[in-house]
Amino acid sequence: MSNSRGGWGSSQPFTANARGDYAPRGGRGRGGRGYRGGRGASSAKYTPPPKPDIVKHPLGELLQTLQVSELDPETEKLSDAVKITDLKYVASYNWMNDKTPTIMVPGNPPAWTPVKEAQRLKEDNGQYFRDPNGARYPRYPTEPAVQAVLTSQPAFPTSDIDIFACGSTMGNLLRFVRSSSKAFRFSIEVVGNTLFFIRKENSPKELIEDVRGFGHSFPEAYTTWEKEVKGSESHQRLVQYDFGGFNCLMRFECDGYLKDMETSVDTQNHTLHELSNGHNLSKAFEAASVSHTLSDVDEPLYVKEGGFEVPQRSIFDLKTRSGKYKTEIDMSDILPVLWLKQIPNFIIAYHDGAGLFQNIKVRDIVKDVQAWEQENASAIKRLAVLLSKLTKIAKGDKRGLLEVYCPSDRLEIRRQYGDGSNSLPFSLRDQWEGSSGQPTYLSDSDDGEGKIPHHGGYSFSYNDSDDDEPKDLTGCSDSCGYCGSCSY
């Protein structure tokens, strides 16, 4: 097995196996071609996501249509260099393998622990969700991220955040401005000063079709959940940075971290422009696996403390590919994602076509991402212009409940259909807006296991005096297939 380090990038969702459980380590899944639902993608033919179902889930009133050609940086008076700057780690959390929806804050990613001797792995055999947060917590998929932020930093300046996005929503916009977009759809809600971009599939339990290869079995064997976070399913990370005049909070799934690069958290906040090269790999350890259980989404969200923060410079993204034909991985779809998430390390594992991995490269891709940024400066400026237009439209709308729909050749900004849906429970929205000074818990005591129930469960209302809060939270069929009350 060869391990090399040089310059290179990717990522996305996660998994439920044939029983309906999450497949082994699926939550840390390495998605093929931008879908984290299948950890390092295989050499199998790429299956695009299904188009948004606008018959089952109708579109709302059209407010404005945008073409790429209309996104003129000159009209927004942008500076010559539009880049990501002032990167800060904010919070993180692990989805836990519990019967109730549970996150561990800050959690930590699985460690890169390559096996001592390469063994032939079994091909992936399971079903994998496109959106792990939506599948695990369909009522308010954004709530776990917000809870992680406010748990880690109770005094976090929420009013400073202009855009709260994820790798999927911002990635879709980036593809659009690069004229390489496929159909997509996501919701927008204005909460205080912040635009929340909420990922939206046709169903929270939508699966990635035709999963093949070794994109889940490889990380299962070559990365390890450490004892502090045993029972984890996935690691979600939130970073803050300035882009195009906007203060952005970005959530994404992290495939793992390199233990030899773990340093003090105080040194972890560097943009890819500031990171240096030349780090050594950690030594190999035996891989470990855990069993997995699908949480009961009718339960409220629980938050427990555990794990440890890891520096941004140590995290990596992972892909697998067949090396049968001796062709290098195409990085054109991967570098943009790494740029958005500011991930500095990339692991590409080539197999012989039958599950034997003897060519594994661990690379510092900082320079490659910087080169991509320079080569795509025009598209990056168009992304900043697009964010400016979306902000003006959303903040000018009375309800502040919009959605973005792209049939592929244009972008439609619409009001959400009907009454729309909120991204957060009302009590948590109040906290984000700054109307309450302290986190609101259901109880001052935990459940005896260090877990505190937070907002967002199906089985009860948090504030009986709040007429706007849905009272019947048990009416979701199939864990919410857009029941009208849920964010999904």
**Those residues with Cβ within 8 angstroms of residue 283's Cβ, 6 or more apart along the chain or in another chain:** none
Confidence check: pLDDT of 389 > 70: yes
Strand partners, 66: 411
Q: Which residue has the higher pLDDT, 80 or 170?
A: 170
pLDDT reported for residue 309: 97
- Computed over every residue of the chain, the mean pLDDT equals 76
Distance from CA of residue 218 to its chain's centroid?
21
List the one residue out of 333, 308, 318, 214 whose CA is nearest residue 256: 318
**Residue whose structure tokens are 């393998």:** 97
CB-based contact 241:250 (threshold 8 Å) = yes
Q: Which residue type is seen at 306? A: G
Task: Give the whole-angstrom CA distance, residue 436 versus residue 431.
Answer: 5
User: Which of 312, 123, 365 is CA-nearest to residue 221?
Assistant: 123
CA distance 211 to 37: 9
Task: Name the band, by pLDDT with cuts 50, 70 and 90, for residue 483.
Answer: very low
Mean pLDDT across the stretch 125-148? 79
Which amino acid does the sequence have at 283?
A: K
3-class DSSP assignment, residue 167: helix
Beta bridge partners of 88: 240
The confidence score (pLDDT) of residue 192 equals 96
Cα 129 to Cα 208: distance, rounded to the nearest angstrom: 6
Pull the structure tokens for residue 334: 């991967």
pLDDT of residue 160: 97
Residues in CB range of 425: below 8 A, 6 or more apart? 140, 143, 455, 456, 462, 469
How far, in Å, CA of 135 to CA of 113, rounded? 28
Q: pTM, whole model, 2 decimals?
A: 0.76
Q: What is the pLDDT of residue 487?
A: 52
SS3 for 49?
coil
pLDDT of 204 reads 60
Confidence at 359, pLDDT banded by 50, 70, 90 = very high
Distance (Å) of CA 36 to CA 206, 220, 255, 369, 452: 13, 14, 9, 20, 28
Q: How far apart are CA 332 and CA 183, in angstroms?
A: 19
N residues, the chain: 488
pLDDT of 280 higher than 50: no
| 49: pLDDT strictly greater than 90 | no
Q: Lowest-confidence range among 29-33, 125-129, 237-241, 484-488?
A: 29-33
Instruction: Name the burial class of residue 39, with classes exposed (0-12), middle (13-18) and buried (19+) by CB atoms within 10 angstroms of its CB.
Output: buried
Q: What is the pLDDT of residue 277?
A: 31
- How far is it, in rounded angstroms, from Cα 406 to Cα 385? 17
Q: Cα separation of 103 and 451, whole Å?
A: 9
Average pLDDT over residues 360-369: 96
**Under 8 Å CB-to-CB from 467, ≥6 apart: which residues?**
none
**DSSP track, 362-409:** EEE-HHHHHHHHHHTHHHHHHHHHHHHHHHHHHHTSSS-EEEEEE-SS
Find all residues with CB under 8 Å of 306, minimum gap 6, and list them.
Answer: 104, 105, 107, 228, 229, 450
Convert the pLDDT of each residue in 291-323 to its tens digit: 334 445 567 899 999 999 999 999 999 999 998
DSSP H/E element including 340:
helix 335-341
Burial class (CB in 10 A: 0-12, 13-18, 19+), 1: middle
Residue 207: count other Cβ atoms within 10 Å of its Cβ: 18
pLDDT tens, 456-468? 332 222 222 333 3
Q: Are 167 and 250 in contact (CB under 8 A)?
A: yes
- Check residue 392 and give its pLDDT: 96
Residue 181: φ, ψ to 5°:
-85, 150
Burial of 115 (0-12, 13-18, 19+ CB in 10 A): middle
Higher local confidence (pLDDT), 116 or 268: 116
Q: pLDDT, tens digit, for every residue of 151-187?
A: 999 999 999 999 999 999 999 999 999 998 789 999 9
